[in-house]
């Protein structure tokens, strides 16, 4: 481990996780989810490289999450519906083929294990949620996970810390990048709103006031991340909620928008898109024009014989050193900042179609939720649609911490649908008179 004190925690952490795994698998999964949002800074300090493969405490925890879910599935395989397994199977299979043809096997394996951990977290939710009360427990787990990142972000704000950006700073909390923190905040904000509206009668005045104040705090932190796509996603959630449930929220939204536009940093981020839209030598592009240039050059670089399966996992960054004129020759290359372009380049048409098919199947699976809990259905389906939209401008698949919470809540919603549907089916069957099968049948 060299002279890194933090890296010396890898083995003790592994032993502690193994002990907890033997004691309570489901409890360990919940504990990891509560604390994972605060772990990125520590995990980065524990990274080490061996044989070209990078790992650390974060990698150990990822492996344990996959192991936990494997054990849960082996114990009760019927709890995980085949429909959701088949929805994921195509994408995971094509991604595995992408590992085999990747120019960088070690990075490709690490990325594939990350994708596998998303499925594990999603599947793990089926072993946590067995009732509406369990679903609300999952929401509270995610809300509690946001406390340490929010406090840390306030400390950053007070001390002038954060992610350097131009002449200013962007808050990133306990995450490695402001964008990850921003999308995580959008998820937590939407779940806070759900708790306020779904449990309005059960909550005390003090609890309601505390949640409203906490949501305002999270909205303020979201502004300070300066992540425009996250702003748009949050705006859409509140706007659609106002249209479908409470029109007065549209008034609140307009007032909040006016106040936000008075903040200089917000103005700078929005007006930045009006300049630097044309690529010429030595010209500085704005972030959208930069993205558009890398998308265009990557698709122009692709050859017909790679259209179906692509160039392999993590090949975009590798080849961007060749096709992207603004790539840093001394760096590792540039990310696609677009999940669909990235998947088309790395896994071809096959990978892109299986990814889209995954979300189509999940939306179909969640459709009955509209009759079970309309509010929960709105936030679950809305989160998925928002995820698909922001995937047009960000490296969403690489944001591990956020993806864990996102897929955990999607899995929790799917489990609620499956459990409720199964319970209704059993009630209907018990109400039917017994029918004896005839001989020979």
Can you give the pLDDT at residue 95? 96
Q: Tell me: the pLDDT tens digits for 397-429?
A: 999 999 999 999 999 999 999 988 776 666 666
**Alpha carbon 56 to chain centroid, angstroms:** 21
> Minimum mean pLDDT among 62-66, 169-173, 282-286: which range?
282-286
Q: Which of the 8 DSSP states describes residue 401? A: H
- pLDDT tens for 7-41 read 676 677 778 777 877 778 888 899 999 999 998 87
In the DSSP assignment, the letter for residue 337 is S
pLDDT tens track for 148-158: 999 999 999 89
Q: What integer is the mean pLDDT of 47-75?
A: 77
Is the pLDDT score of 384 beyond 60?
Answer: yes
Average pLDDT over residues 80-96: 95
Phi and psi at 143, nearest 5°, equal -65, -45
The Cα–Cα gap between 396 and 180 comes to 8
Instruction: Report the pLDDT value the prediction gives residue 439, as an integer from 0 to 100.
Output: 45
- Two structure tokens written together for 267: 């103005």
Task: Read off the pLDDT of residues 272-283 as tens digits, 9 standing for 90 and up.
Answer: 655 544 444 435
Residue 211's Cβ-side half-sphere holds a number of Cα atoms within 13 Å equal to 22
The rounded distance, in Å, linking the Cα atoms of 196 and 319 is: 47
Q: Give the least confident one: 5-14, 97-106, 324-333.
A: 5-14
């Amino acid at each position: 481990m060299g002279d890194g004190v933090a890296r010396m925690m890898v083995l003790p952490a592994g032993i502690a996780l193994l002990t907890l795994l033997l004691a309570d698998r489901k409890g360990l999964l919940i504990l990891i989810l509560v604390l994972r949002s605060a772990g990125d800074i520590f995990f980065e300090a524990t990274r080490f490289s061996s044989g070209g493969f990078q790992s650390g405490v974060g990698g150990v925890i990822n492996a344990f999450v996959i192991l936990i879910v494997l054990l849960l599935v082996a114990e009760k395989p019927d709890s995980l519906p085949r429909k959701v397994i088949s929805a994921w199977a195509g994408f995971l299979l094509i991604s595995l083929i992408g590992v085999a043809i990747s120019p960088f096997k070690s990075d490709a394996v690490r990325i594939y294990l990350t994708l596998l951990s998303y499925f594990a977290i999603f599947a793990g939710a089926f072993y946590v949620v067995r009732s509406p009360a369990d679903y609300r427990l999952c929401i509270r787990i995610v809300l509690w996970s946001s406390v340490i990142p929010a406090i840390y972000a306030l400390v950053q704000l007070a001390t002038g810390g954060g992610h350097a950006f131009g002449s200013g700073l962007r808050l990133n909390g306990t995450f490695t990048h402001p964008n990850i923190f921003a999308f995580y905040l959008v998820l937590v904000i939407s779940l806070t709103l759900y708790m306020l509206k779904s449990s309005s009668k059960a909550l005390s005045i003090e609890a309601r006031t505390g949640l409203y104040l906490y949501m305002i705090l999270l909205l303020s932190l979201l502004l300070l991340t300066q992540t425009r796509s996250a702003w748009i996603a949050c705006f859409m959630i509140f706007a659609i909620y106002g249209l479908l449930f409470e029109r007065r929220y549209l008034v609140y939204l307009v007032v909040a928008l006016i106040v936000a536009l008075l903040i200089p940093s917000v103005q700078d981020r929005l007006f930045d898109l009006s300049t630097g839209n044309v690529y010429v030598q030595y010209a500085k592009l704005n972030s959208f024009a930069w993205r558009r240039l890398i998308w265009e050059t990557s698709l122009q670089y692709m050859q017909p014989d790679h259209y179906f399966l692509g160039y392999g996992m993590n090949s975009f960054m590798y080849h961007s050193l060749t096709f992207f004129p603004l790539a840093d020759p001394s760096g590792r290359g540039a990310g696609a900042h677009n999940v669909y372009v990235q998947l088309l380049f790395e896994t071809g048409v096959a990978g892109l179609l299986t990814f889209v098919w995954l979300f189509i199947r999940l939306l179909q699976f969640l459709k009955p939720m509209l009759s079970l809990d309309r509010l929960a259905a709105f936030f679950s389906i809305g989160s998925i649609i928002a995820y698909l939209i922001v995937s047009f401008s960000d490296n969403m698949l690489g944001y591990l911490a956020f993806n864990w919470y996102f897929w955990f809540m999607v899995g929790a919603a799917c489990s609620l649908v499956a459990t409720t549907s199964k319970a209704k089916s059993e009630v209907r069957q018990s109400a039917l008179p017994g029918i004896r099968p005839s001989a020979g049948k």
